[in-house]
Structure 1
Amino acid sequence: MAPQSHGRSRINSIDMMRGLVMLIMLLDHVREQFFLHMQVSDPMDLSTTTWDLFVSRFAAHFCAPVFVFLTGVSAWLYANRGHGEPRSVRVFLLKRGLFLIALEVLVINFSWMGNYHTLWLQVIWVIGLSMLALAALIKLPRLWMALLGLLIVFGHNLLSPIHFEPDTWGYSLWTILHDRGYLIAEGDLKLKVSYPLLPWIGVILLGYVAGPLFSRKFEAWQRQQRLMLLGVGCFAFFCLLRGFNLYGETLPWQVGESIGQTLMSVFNLTKYPPSLSFLLVTLGGMFCGLVLFERYFAAGSLFSWIGQKLAVFGSVPMFFYILHLYVLLLLYLVAKGLFGANHGELFGVAHMGWVWLISLVLIPLLYYPVSWFSRYKSQSQQAWLKYL
């Protein structure tokens, strides 16, 4: 394979992975708009959930780790172009991180409920903060970055017993770093940290360290071999630590009345903050997925048409993220206006089958504006488009 097409294939595999988790995220957000009356707890309550709700929610667990890890990879690729001298990525990370935080507060929050009674600091906020942290650490040697990332990812579960009560000196900082909670719990406008930051700093550091795997210095088989080893290694660690309830998860799994209940208990993993078990499963799946995309979904392969569509969604992730949230808000308001509230003050569908159907209908409809914007972005020289 020629070096130029070799590089393009690698970038496409990243976009395909982003596109896949975007569509999984769409399913989860349809659930949050139209199935809110059957909201799950954190972690998922096995005594009340159903298998279809559990599986749909579990699939959404892959979204944030993939976003954050590939943000680190993309930062390395930005700094180390395939031609010319390396360029500084610190300023771009700072600007992009602050831009994402502003988007979370000013644009994305309103899209959830159509009001501002609570500011939810969620995944876009934590990606923005992670980029600021990466910018601060960008001059560290790659070995130090790798060790620091591994220390955070593997060691942060040791911090779980530490808690601060509201109004104590360390509460606000610890809420941002590790414990999900309200920074402002009273008043007309509340402020809640839904995504604690600390573990995600470790993930973005490891993503940056993994960036050279996607450079032209690696042949396809070398990259795929290393990614597959990383994926298998993550799954092996998960089986060892989780299988024997040794470490890495706050809730030990238990044998249920059926195989299905036992499996749900095993994969009932803590997301806020993401436990080590949570990250091992999701990042392991991402590593293996990148290999499969490059082998079987690239140009000329059997499933290339699927890969091309996924790559379009993944090429403009922020545009898709904002677009689909406002489309879902509009659809919800229209449905509630036409049919009225049928679950207390909420409008909702009867079961998860409707959630899957709505998601499947929306995918081709959203593809057209996303495809248009992707082409426009690739042809335009406007600098601000890099942020979308």
Structure 2
Amino acid sequence: MTTTTVNGVLTEKPRISSIDLMRGMIMIIMALDHTRDFFHADANVFQPTDLDKTNPILFFTRLITHFCAPAFVFLSGVAARISLQRKTKSELFNFLLTRGLWLIFLEFTVMRFGILFNLYYDFIIMQVIWVLGASMIVLAMLIYLPEIIVGILGLILVFGHNIFDKFQLEPGDTGYAAWAILNQTGTLALDEKHLLFAFYPLIPWLGIMLVGYAVGKWYTKDFDPQARKQRLLVAGISSLVLFFVLRYINLYGDPAPWSVQKNALFTVMSFINVTKYPVSLIYTLMTLGPILIILSWMENKELKVLKPALVFGRVPLFYYILHFYLIHAISLICYMIIADKSLSEVDFHFGSSFGGIPIGFGYSLGWVYFVWISVVVVLYPVCKWYNRYKSTHSYTWLSYL
């Protein structure tokens, strides 16, 4: 929990501000991508990283949000290890197991409705919340091992899962469903009218969480802050160097090789256009390298200009759920006004629309940025209130939201 008792009064406990700040920054950036999903005219027409159809502004708008999921999963592993300073391993096991199950439940209920606004279950999406939950459940089974063993297992998964890039199963193949969920991604037909898409297969994301758990040892109270700062910097620089080497030689680490394009800018875009579904080794190195360097730089710094991000970083799940519902609701209301439709006239079936928004309907990228900033501003006082409430109350349920 984040509270302590002083003279019988619950007050806020000290926290590691650099982790909260980093988490808050990525939560803010993440909202940009989800705003684009609901507001940009081309969001569901083509992928913003498709070099044949995209433009540099759209490409880099998508690229900056690539950092969010790896950072969030990694920091969740870090936070789990830090919590061992106030929890026994048995208590941490129970927390990770129950929170993991809770997150999976949220993904298939609360988050699914927030994304699609229907209860047909015609399309079920397994996204980052599901893989966070599943990874926590596996981590719960591993916390009795030394951190270094957990870290080595994580590195094996992160560095080794691309070995199977050429081992692709097709629907109907034996083991396709399990392999799609574990390492490949894919669409699973539950029946003729119900589909499940596994965007976030478990194995590579679990590796990132396990590495985060091992790095969490650097954040324990007895660990020298200067040594932590140095290790984070070395790890970050090493990740980026390895990213450039592996990406340049085009032999391993990402199933989509880069190539020379029509001009220098698009060639650079091809070089950094790495694979997220499923997350590749090179994608992980490219995104976590800068995160580690920034964490090192933020060590013991008071960054007042970024202080508002701390609020979002301390209540990430609360913010995550709210921002989806708010963005989707604003988008739907705008569509209904412009198209002069009532709620009963909106088609919420997946395929003909995305959460009631027809494919191809939307606005320019400028409006996407405007709505994104507006959503963050609106959610700030709400999250600030909840952070204060959570910090000064000791109800068990608060640790799950």
By the TM > 0.5 criterion, same fold?
yes
| Structure 1 residue identity aligned to 2:327 | L
| Structure 1 residue identity aligned to 2:366 | G
Q: Residue 239 of structure 2 contacts residue 289 of structure 2 at CA under 8 Å; is this kept in 1?
A: yes
**What's the offset of the Cα at 1:58?**
0.9
Q: Residue 43 of structure 2 contacts residue 360 of structure 2 at CA under 8 Å; is this kept in 1?
A: no
In the superposition, relative to structure 1, how do residues 181 and 86 fare at CA in structure 2: closer, same or farther (>3 Å)? closer
SS at match of 1:178: helix
| Structure 2 residue identity aligned to 1:99 | W
In the superposition, relative to structure 1, how do residues 346 and 173 fare at CA in structure 2: closer, same or farther (>3 Å)? closer
Q: Distance in 2 between matches of 1:172 and 1:42?
A: 25
In structure 2, what is the equivalent of residue 282 of structure 1?
287
Q: Distance in 2 between matches of 1:341 and 1:53?
A: 29
SS at match of 1:89: helix
Which of 378, 384, 393 lines up with 1:365 in the alignment?
A: 378
2:353 maps to 1:350: no
Unaligned runs of 5+ in 1: 1-7
In structure 2, what is the equivalent of residue 340 of structure 1?
339
| Structure 2 residue identity aligned to 1:148 | L
Which of 374, 377, 383 lines up with 2:387 in the alignment?
A: 374
| Structure 1 residue identity aligned to 2:276 | K
Query: Which stretch shifts more, 107-116 or 179-188?
Result: 179-188
2:86 maps to 1:73: no
In structure 2, what is the equivalent of residue 200 of structure 1?
205
Q: Residue 93 of structure 1 contacts residue 131 of structure 1 at CA under 8 Å; is this kept in 2?
A: yes
In structure 1, what is the equivalent of residue 175 of structure 2?
170
| Structure 1 residue identity aligned to 2:394 | Q
Which of 20, 23, 27 lines up with 1:18 in the alignment?
A: 23
Q: Residue 79 of structure 2 contacts residue 216 of structure 2 at CA under 8 Å; is this kept in 1?
A: yes
SS at match of 1:166: coil
Q: Distance in 2 between matches of 1:347 and 1:238?
A: 35
Which of 25, 32, 35 lines up with 2:40 in the alignment?
A: 35
**What's the offset of the Cα at 1:351?**
2.0
Q: CA RMSD in A?
A: 2.1
In structure 2, what is the equivalent of residue 151 of structure 1?
156
Q: Distance in 1 between matches of 2:340 and 2:296?
A: 45
Q: Distance in 1 between matches of 2:60 and 2:105?
A: 32
2:129 maps to 1:142: no
In structure 2, what is the equivalent of residue 94 of structure 1?
97
**What's the offset of the Cα at 1:56?**
1.1
| Structure 2 residue identity aligned to 1:95 | T
In structure 1, what is the equivalent of residue 324 of structure 2?
325
**What's the offset of the Cα at 1:9?**
7.7
In the superposition, relative to structure 1, how do residues 165 and 258 fare at CA in structure 2: closer, same or farther (>3 Å)? closer
SS at match of 1:61: helix
Q: Distance in 2 between matches of 1:71 and 1:274?
A: 17
| Structure 2 residue identity aligned to 1:329 | H
Alignment map for 1:285-324 (pairs within 5 Å): 285-296=290-301, 298=302, 303-306=303-306, 308-324=307-323
Q: Distance in 1 between matches of 2:154 and 2:47?
A: 25
| Structure 2 residue identity aligned to 1:345 | P
Query: Which stretch shifts more, 261-270 or 353-362?
Result: 353-362
In the superposition, relative to structure 1, how do residues 225 and 102 fare at CA in structure 2: closer, same or farther (>3 Å)? same
In the superposition, relative to structure 1, how do residues 347 and 114 fare at CA in structure 2: closer, same or farther (>3 Å)? farther
In structure 2, what is the equivalent of residue 385 of structure 1?
398
User: 1:147-188 deviations in whole A, cap 9, x for unaligned?
Assistant: 211111111111111122323331111011011112225433
In the superposition, relative to structure 1, how do residues 318 and 104 fare at CA in structure 2: closer, same or farther (>3 Å)? same
| Structure 1 residue identity aligned to 2:262 | E
Q: Distance in 1 between matches of 2:15 and 2:285?
A: 23
Query: Which stretch shifts more, 235-244 or 253-262?
Result: 253-262
Unaligned runs of 5+ in 2: 1-12, 342-352
Q: Distance in 1 between matches of 2:329 and 2:124?
A: 20
Q: Distance in 1 between matches of 2:321 and 2:247?
A: 36
| Structure 2 residue identity aligned to 1:64 | A
Which of 225, 232, 239 lines up with 1:227 in the alignment?
A: 232
User: 1:285-344 deviations in whole A, cap 9, x for unaligned?
Assistant: 110121233354x2xxxx3242x2111101000000000011011101110111118999
Q: Residue 40 of structure 1 contacts residue 49 of structure 1 at CA under 8 Å; is this kept in 2?
A: no
Q: Distance in 1 between matches of 2:393 and 2:359?
A: 42
**What's the offset of the Cα at 1:79?**
1.5
SS at match of 1:271: coil
Q: Distance in 1 between matches of 2:389 and 2:266?
A: 48
| Structure 2 residue identity aligned to 1:136 | M
Query: Which stretch shifts more, 9-18 or 226-235?
Result: 9-18
**What's the offset of the Cα at 1:36?**
5.2
**What's the offset of the Cα at 1:87?**
5.9
| Structure 2 residue identity aligned to 1:229 | V
In structure 2, what is the equivalent of residue 4 of structure 1?
none
Query: Which stretch shifts more, 264-273 or 189-198?
Result: 189-198
Query: Which stretch shifts more, 208-217 or 24-33?
Result: 208-217
Q: Distance in 1 between matches of 2:141 and 2:267?
A: 43
Q: Residue 341 of structure 1 contacts residue 347 of structure 1 at CA under 8 Å; is this kept in 2?
A: no
In structure 1, what is the equivalent of residue 61 of structure 2?
56
Q: Distance in 1 between matches of 2:35 and 2:43?
A: 12
Q: Residue 214 of structure 1 contacts residue 223 of structure 1 at CA under 8 Å; is this kept in 2?
A: yes
2:215 maps to 1:210: yes
Q: Residue 119 of structure 1 contacts residue 192 of structure 1 at CA under 8 Å; is this kept in 2?
A: yes
**What's the offset of the Cα at 1:218?**
2.5
Q: Residue 45 of structure 2 contacts residue 360 of structure 2 at CA under 8 Å; is this kept in 1?
A: no
**What's the offset of the Cα at 1:85?**
6.5
**What's the offset of the Cα at 1:264?**
0.5
| Structure 2 residue identity aligned to 1:102 | F
Q: Distance in 1 between matches of 2:155 and 2:48?
A: 24
| Structure 2 residue identity aligned to 1:90 | F
In the superposition, relative to structure 1, how do residues 41 and 142 fare at CA in structure 2: closer, same or farther (>3 Å)? farther
